[in-house]
Amino acid sequence: MKLLTNAQKLLLLLRRQRSSRTTTVQAHDPSAAGQPALTSAQLDELEKNVELRHHRNNVPLIRKLIEASVRGDRSVEQQLEEELGQLPNATHPRLLDYGDQPRELAQHVQREMPLKPKEFSELARALNLYRMDHLGNYTGHKSYYLTGHLATLEQAIIQYALQSVTKHGFRLISVPDILPKEVIESCGMRTEGERTQVYKLDTGECLSGTSEMALAGFFANKVLPEEELPLKVTAVSRCYRAETSGLQEEKGIYRVHQFTKVEMFAICTPTQSEAELEEFKNIEVDLFKQLGINFRLLDMPPCELGSPAYQKYDIEAWMPGRQMWGEISSCSNCTDYQAKRLAVKYLRASDGQVQHAHTINGTATAIPRLLIALLESYQKGDSVEIPTVLRPFMDGQEFIARSKRIPETKLVKFIKAA
């Protein structure tokens, strides 16, 4: 199946179709010669893909705009470009018969769960490791403080993840968290509208939702030699998400507006991207195996891919305190969806042609949910055991117990002047 799914290509086709009536096909672009016009059948296929992914169906509008454009109405071209830009990526054929449900590929059971497990908030509050109450007016909705050894554990997880991924050849990059909205939109994230997940600043710039955006932006307009691919990078960043949730199962730090994440990102050739995604998946599986939590690997159905992904794996950890599986990691192959929007290209070694690259992204560790999974899985009475692989980053410490040095949350309403 060859779906034409990106704005530039479709528009180019339209323009060529128009120009071919009056002039000849441009010689410097041999691919355009004999290129068929965008047919109704292709639009049908695009629409099928949109529906499969439960995406907003703008294909009928696109049809109308194309008709207007073919008739010579140039005023609609920009709108057409915008609508085409909002079409999702193509979908991996493997997923076509998945329906709306993910397929469980593996389940890793590594430890026995505690008999009467406490939920993270209860556990962390009892051990004086966290505070989330009465903060909305001061540090914002769903803000939280990690205190004592839980904050140290956060840094240990970052070190552990960095050590693991750099061993796999990922190169560390420090990334910006404040980005122009164009970069964010090029990654397939909308910055306008009621339900946008993107925070905006007084300057009009946006806060990055994941370092994937900054990393993709870093390689924008670059042409990389094929020998350098796959180019694998990693970043530690703060992620800002305006999304919110009132769901009981997402209470506490499960879904928050700000968190730290170690991200993996790769730029590769179209022939490398599928294997690269498998490597991302294997690294993630290995990271969580070493951490000794129980988790499962899911192959996500088309409706869960968002706009940019061609295929996506999720990893869900068992959170015994909540008695539920919670997503702690994922990795996606975005093929050329982001690369085309950001003009990330490579120089093909065989013929010296400049081609669009493919991009892969994946989570090494996202802190809050991993903390939930770790604390709930490793609780032992009045303490929490520290996973073996994290101990070297915590001076060999084996357990986290209640700290008496951290004050309890006792609040006053007001204090009257004497």
Partner 1 sequence: MLGLQIVLRSCRAAQKGSIRKISALYITGDKANENYATLQPYLDFAGTFDEAASLEQSIASRGLDISVESVFRKYQKYQTHHEQLQRVVGEREAVTKNLKEVTKKGGSELQIEELKEQGKTLRNDLKALKQALYPIEDDFIHDFLHLPNRLHAQCPTGDREVLLYRHSLPGSTSNVPSHLERKDLIHFVDNNRYYMMEQAAHFDVNAMQSLGRYFVTKGDFVQTANPDFVRCVLLEANATPLADYHMVREEHLQNKINTAYLTGGAAFESYLGAMTKLCVYPSVLPLRYVCCGRSYNRAEAQHYGPTPSLYTATQTNAVQSFVATQTADEANAQLEHILSLAIDFYKALDVPFRIVYAPAASLTPSESLRAVIEVYAPSLQRYVCVGRISNYGDFVSKRILFSTRREKHYDFLHLVGGPVLYTTRLIAALLEHNIRLVDCKLVGASSSGGKPTMEQDLQQFKDLFT
173 is written with which tokens? 């990059």
Radius of gyration, alpha carbons of the chain: 24
Which neighbouring-strand residues pair with 207?
A: 178
Q: How far apart are alpha carbons 316 and 330 in whole angstroms?
A: 9
Query: Which of the stretches 234-242, 308-316, 336-344, 375-383 binds partner 1 when contact is defined by CB under 8 A?
Result: 234-242
Query: Which of the stretches 49-57, 79-87, 95-103, 136-144 binds partner 1 when contact is defined by CB under 8 A?
Result: 136-144
224 binds partner 1 (CB under 8 A): no
Q: Residue type at 5?
A: T
Question: Among 232, 255, 257, 358, which residue sits at the site for partner 1 (rule: CB under 8 A)?
Answer: 257
Instruction: Tell me the binding residues for L-serine.
Output: 210, 241, 263, 361
Question: Among 35, 42, 86, 290, which residue sits at the site for partner 1 (rule: CB under 8 A)?
Answer: 290
- Residue number with CB closer to partner 1 (154 or 250): 154
∠ CA 130-109-312 to the nearest 5 degrees? 80
* Residue 82: CB minimum distance to partner 1, A: 22
* Beta strands at 345-347 and 223-225: parallel, antiparallel or unpaired: parallel
Q: Which of residues 22-61 bind partner 1 (CB under 8 A)?
A: none
- Please state, as a whole number, how many other Cβ atoms lie within 10 Å of the Cβ of residue 33: 12
**Residue 344: HSE in the Cβ half-sphere, 13 Å Cα cutoff:** 30
Question: Among 81, 119, 177, 385, which residue sits at the site for partner 1 (rule: CB under 8 A)?
Answer: 177
* Residue 391: CB minimum distance to partner 1, A: 7
Which neighbouring-strand residues pair with 330?
A: 314
Find, among 280, 265, 256, 209, the residue nearest to 234 by Cα: 265
Alpha helices in 35-112 (DSSP H): 40-52, 59-70, 77-85
Q: How far apart are alpha carbons 195 and 128 in whole angstroms?
A: 35
397 binds partner 1 (CB under 8 A): no
Question: Among 179, 366, 372, 384, which residue sits at the site for partner 1 (rule: CB under 8 A)?
Answer: 179
Query: Which of the stretches 16-24, 167-175, 297-305, 322-330 binds partner 1 when contact is defined by CB under 8 A?
Result: 167-175
Q: Angle 149-167/367-378 helices, nearest 10 degrees?
A: 110
247 binds partner 1 (CB under 8 A): no
139 binds partner 1 (CB under 8 A): yes
Instruction: Tell me the binding residues.
Output: 210, 241-243, 256-259, 263, 327-330, 361
Question: Among 17, 143, 355, 383, which residue sits at the site for partner 1 (rule: CB under 8 A)?
Answer: 143
107 binds partner 1 (CB under 8 A): no
218 binds partner 1 (CB under 8 A): yes
